[in-house]
């Protein structure tokens, strides 16, 4: 698999938003970002919106991010923050009718637990996704969401409680 770092070490075309380099990054990492967006939102349309909004922001700051940070973690951080805070409220456009054919219903393969995730408050779900899908430590989750480690723990505790998942330990360090 190509990493974000490898992609952004390729060529740059100034003058376009992000240029060819940015486009390569989207082609290489887009599917993974969409999976992440889908796990965060539980909804195909919202996932596509979330990823596209975040990529639009990345393309505006591509050169700076490429030089200083890892573009993929930048996008993932934006997505998590947008999802729990302001994204849905200020979104001005709805992307409709633009998704490809296919079934994105939540009924198959993922089972009862996936369906129950949809009942969680947004921040609880985000904490669980960052912990169990992104495999991040509670400190990393706290940094990404801009909340304290204690809040991460309590959010995770409540989410797991709702889902009737027994936590193996109270706080997760680096996996």
Partner 1 sequence: MRTEDELVTALRQGAADAPEPDLLAGVARLRRRRRARRRAQLLAAAAVVAVAGTGTAVFRGTAVQETPQPLATATASIAPVPVEPVEAVAAELWPEAVFTMPARNSDGWRYRPITAISPTEVLLSAESSFEKAGKFEVYDSRTGKARLVAEVPKDDRLKKYIVQGVTVDGANVAWFAYGEQGDGAQIRDIWTVPLAGGEARLVASRVGQDADLDAIGLDGDHVVWSEVDGGVWRHPLGGIEPERVPGSDGLHLVQWPWATDVAGLPGDLDRNQLRLVNLEDGSSRTVQPPPGVQGMRCGPVWCYGRGERGTVISRVDGSQPPREVARGIGMGVARYPILDRFLAAGNAVYDLATSTMVSFGNPGNWYGAGVSSEPSTVFYWGATKGDKPDKFRVLNLAAVPPAQ
User: Which residues make up the interface to partner 1 (CB under 8 A)?
Assistant: 17, 23, 26-27, 30-31, 33-39, 42, 44-45, 47-48, 51-53, 55-56, 59, 86, 89-95, 98-100, 102-104, 106, 108-111, 113-114, 117, 128-129, 132-133, 160, 163-168
In the complex, what is the shortest distance from the CB of residue 32 to partner 1, in angstroms, rounded to a whole number? 9
Residue 147 or 163: which CB sits closer to partner 1?
Answer: 163
Q: Which of 78, 75, 95, 77 is nearest to 87 (CA)?
A: 78
By the 8 A CB rule, do 49 and 39 touch? no
CB of 58 to partner 1, least distance (A): 9
- Cα–Cα distances (Å) from 7 to 24, 32, 121, 150, in that order, read 7, 14, 35, 36
The nearer residue to partner 1, 53 or 142, going by C-beta atoms, is: 53
Residue 34 or 147 with smaller CB distance to partner 1: 34
Tell me if 76 sits within 8 A of 62, measured CB to CB.
no
Closer residue to partner 1 (CB): 51 or 80 = 51
For residue 100, give the DSSP letter.
P
State which residue, 45 or 69, has the beta carbon closest to partner 1.
45
3-class DSSP assignment, residue 102: coil
Minimum distance between the CB of residue 150 and partner 1, rounded to whole angstroms?
20
The residue with tokens 């393309």 is 59
**Least CB distance from residue 166 to partner 1, whole Å?**
4
Q: Could you give the CA distance from residue 81 to residue 51 in angstroms, rounded to a whole number?
A: 12
Q: Closest separation between CB of residue 44 and partner 1, Å?
A: 4
* Helix/strand/coil for 25: helix
């Amino acid at each position: 698999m190509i990493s974000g770092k490898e992609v952004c070490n390729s060529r740059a075309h100034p003058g376009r938003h992000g240029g060819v380099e940015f486009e390569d990054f989207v082609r290489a990492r887009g599917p993974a970002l969409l999976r992440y967006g889908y796990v965060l939102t539980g909804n195909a349309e919202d996932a596509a919106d979330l990823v596209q909004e975040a990529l639009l922001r990345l393309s505006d700051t591509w050169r700076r991010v490429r030089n200083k940070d890892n573009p993929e973690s930048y996008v993932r951080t934006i997505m998590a923050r947008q999802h729990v805070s302001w994204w849905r409220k200020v979104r001005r456009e709805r992307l409709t009718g633009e998704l490809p054919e296919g079934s994105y219903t939540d009924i198959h393969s993922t089972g009862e637990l996936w369906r129950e995730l949809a009942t969680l408050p947004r921040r609880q779900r985000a904490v669980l996704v960052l912990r169990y899908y992104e495999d991040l430590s509670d400190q990393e989750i706290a940094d990404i969401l801009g909340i304290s480690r204690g809040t991460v723990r309590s959010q995770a505790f409540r989410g797991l409680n709702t889902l009737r998942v027994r936590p193996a330990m109270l706080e997760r360090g680096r996996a």
